[in-house]
Chain A
Amino acid sequence: MSAPHVLEVRDLRKSYRSPEGEHTLVVDVPSFRMASGEQVGLRGPSGSGKTTFLNLVAGILQADGGSVHVDGGPMTGVSESARDRLRAERMGYVFQTFNLLQGYSALENVELGMMFGRGVDGRYARELLGRVGLGHRLRYRPRQLSVGQQQRVAVARALANRPKLVLADEPTGNLDRAHAMEALALMREVCREHDAALLLVSHDPEVLGHFARVDDLARLNRATSGSGITMPVAEPAPGVGERA
């Protein structure tokens, strides 16, 4: 049942209302596609709307218009809980700050990633952590791990539900150069092994240099490229977000 495109974005639009009440368009992407298993580097300087774009793809934000399909499943025009389910079952997300739950061990963090998707499978969780080289750190809390190790827990968690697509938002941004390259190589390898496509957003040319296909969000996104006007801050104001 694998769709030809693991990610298909069409005419995706999102605007925010500024405190003055003006609508500011931050994302306007006419078309973006990824083939099954493909690994794409997306150049996204700050202000290019990258986080908003990724949140729209992940269904964390609701689009104002256009469509997103992940592995054939609609991420737009459906209810919030349908988006939650699609995200849980077919996507993984690696954040720049990892977003690990501090009160839980590495193993529990991966299991929490499974809880809302395919269900908890302790053996697979251990296997994933073993694969990223943390088989001996299962019971460690994030605080007890190095930054590089935390990043690997985040990678293992992103793969916990056997996703078709892994989104990574500056995943190596918090690592030093040597560790960043190591982490990047590991992430790409593990995604390939698990048949997951990888969409990695970065502004680091050396990171992007490893990808066969690199797209430029500033060019894809007409909200930033077309107007020629300096972009306003692309982060949503606190409390402004999606509603069911």
Chain B
Amino acid sequence: MTRGLTRGLTRGRPRGLTRGIMRIVLRSLRQHALSTAITVLSVALASGLVMAVFAIKRQSYEAFTGGPVGFDAVLGARGSQLQLVLNTVFHLETSPGNIPFASYTAIAADPGVALAVPYAVGDNFHGYRVVGTTDELFTKFEYRAGHKLDVAPGGRIFTAQERGAVVGSVVARQVGVKVGDHIRPYHGLQFDEAQQHDDDYEVVGILEPSNSPSDRVVWIPILGIYRMSGHVLRGTGRTFRPHPDSLIPEEHREVSAVMLKLTDPTAGIYLDQAINRQGKSATLAWPIGRVMADLFGKIGWVNEVLALVAYLVVVVAAGSILASIYNTMNERRREFAILRSLGARRGTVFSAIVLESTTITVLGVLVGYVVYAAILGAAFVAVRAQTGVVLDAWRYDPALLLTPMGMCVLGALAGLVPAFKAYRTDVASNLMPNS
């Protein structure tokens, strides 16, 4: 407490009264150190939990709906827009299927499309996706305004015809590959050692960390996917086995999805109309942010359950404040009576108890920030490990201020019950000899 505040509080009151009351409060907290510590921890847990639930909800919503996505829309096989987005933008879930190469060339030529990048999926490298694409992903795509996927010094982008791989930073670090290494992809999206392809790829570049899902991908030329040993193509509807030494006719080629950057929102409206409402062969997931927002809408109840649990913990914490102080009331009746006999007013004794519960709460919410940091840190690591999406764990959220404030009000309220008991302490009967 600052000197000025102390002076303000003690104006017109005996010198040292505020400090004295604070001393009484702190002495009592120390005399009941164990119960104080447990109560402080329960308040910390409650406060940290509420802050974390709200912050994670907001951070994950923002990260997954407006974060480093970079594309406006995804064109893929007929089916769920959500599956399409999860599979291509976040490299989660399974692929809903493929579309003919002609769909890619057609939409790439559409005047409303500024950038079209094809993806072909189906292989993995130690569990990380191997995605076939074109060099436009590195030369034209911006995962965030002004930020391209850059190759770290010492590396380069693959060329369309070579067996070269550009490896995401997380993959490079986790698996331990560097430029010049040779890697062999595994068939399928799930890692299975028995499913290793015979094809050798040279790592030509490692991506700089982008804190986006691209960090968790091995990028190879799309032709590489077509020519991967054992792969077949069904661009025409019939199985086609590419011959290693001859060109693959375009009609046999297919792509898993086409990632799109649109010229303007109206392009999205007419493409949505043309592909989703009138077309039969493909699905356009647009806008990506809306598709993810729908997902959050569907799983919103999870957050509500978490919030409910957090609120219940708050109620329990408030109850434990009340109980911990209330339990000391009987042994302290004599102390209150003595203080009253020394001239302390009822109101002074009352405010000492409220101050005591408030002090516990303040200590609790301070420790609560540690709890919050621990939960957010764990969420940060977990979400990044699962998706490559990075939560902005240290960003300010109103809950970081409102929760502790609300908690302090609740703590003070919890003090009212024992404070009222202290207020009603009868001096004469509690000053009895030997009482």
Which single residue of chain B is at the shortest CB-CB distance from A58? Answer: B341
Place the interface of chain A in its size category: 35 or more
Question: Among the listed B27, B345, B429, which residue makes an inter-chain contact with A84, where contact means beta carbons less than 8 Å apart?
Answer: B345
Interface flag for B428 (CB, 8 Å):
yes
Interface flag for A120 (CB, 8 Å):
yes
Determine if A96 and B341 form an interchain contact, defined as CB atoms under 8 angstroms apart: no
| CB-CB contacts below 8 Å: A68-125 with B | 80-81, 84-85, 87-89, 93, 95-97, 99-101, 103-104, 108, 111-121
Determine if B20 and A111 form an interchain contact, defined as CB atoms under 8 angstroms apart: yes
Determine if A81 and B16 form an interchain contact, defined as CB atoms under 8 angstroms apart: no
Determine if A116 and B429 form an interchain contact, defined as CB atoms under 8 angstroms apart: no
Within the complex, the shortest CB–CB distance from A106 to chain B, in Å, comes to: 15
Which single residue of chain A is at the shortest CB-CB distance from B427? Answer: A60
Complex: how many Å from CA A96 to CA B434?
A: 9
Determine if B335 and A101 form an interchain contact, defined as CB atoms under 8 angstroms apart: yes
Determine if A116 and B344 form an interchain contact, defined as CB atoms under 8 angstroms apart: yes
**Set of chain A residues within 8 Å of B334, measured between Cβ atoms:** 99
**Set of chain B residues within 8 Å of A157, measured between Cβ atoms:** 342
**Set of chain B residues within 8 Å of A103, measured between Cβ atoms:** 27-28, 31, 335
Question: Among the listed A51, A97, A112, A170, which residue makes an inter-chain contact with B339, where contact means beta carbons less than 8 Å apart?
Answer: A112
| CB-CB contacts below 8 Å: A189-235 with B | 235
Determine if A241 and B428 form an interchain contact, defined as CB atoms under 8 angstroms apart: yes
Question: Among the listed B20, B345, B426, which residue makes an inter-chain contact with A239, where contact means beta carbons less than 8 Å apart?
Answer: B426
Which single residue of chain A is at the shortest CB-CB distance from B20? Answer: A115
Complex: how many Å from CA A176 to CA B337?
A: 27
**Set of chain B residues within 8 Å of A235, measured between Cβ atoms:** 429, 432
User: Main SS of chain B's interface residues?
Assistant: helix
| CB-CB contacts below 8 Å: B323-342 with A | 334-335, 337-342
Which single residue of chain B is at the shortest CB-CB distance from A122? Answer: B16
Complex: how many Å from CA A96 to CA B426?
A: 18
Question: Among the listed B14, B341, B427, which residue makes an inter-chain contact with A115, where contact means beta carbons less than 8 Å apart?
Answer: B14
Determine if B342 and A113 form an interchain contact, defined as CB atoms under 8 angstroms apart: yes
Determine if B16 and A60 form an interchain contact, defined as CB atoms under 8 angstroms apart: no
Within the complex, the shortest CB–CB distance from B425 to chain A, in Å, comes to: 9
| Contact flags B402-432 to A (C-beta < 8 A → 1, else 0) | 0000000000000000000000001111011
Determine if B429 and A236 form an interchain contact, defined as CB atoms under 8 angstroms apart: yes
Interface flag for A24 (CB, 8 Å):
no
Residues on A lying within 8 angstroms of B by beta carbon are 51-52, 55, 58, 60-61, 80-81, 84-85, 87-89, 93, 95-97, 99-101, 103-104, 108, 111-121, 157, 161, 170, 235-242, 244
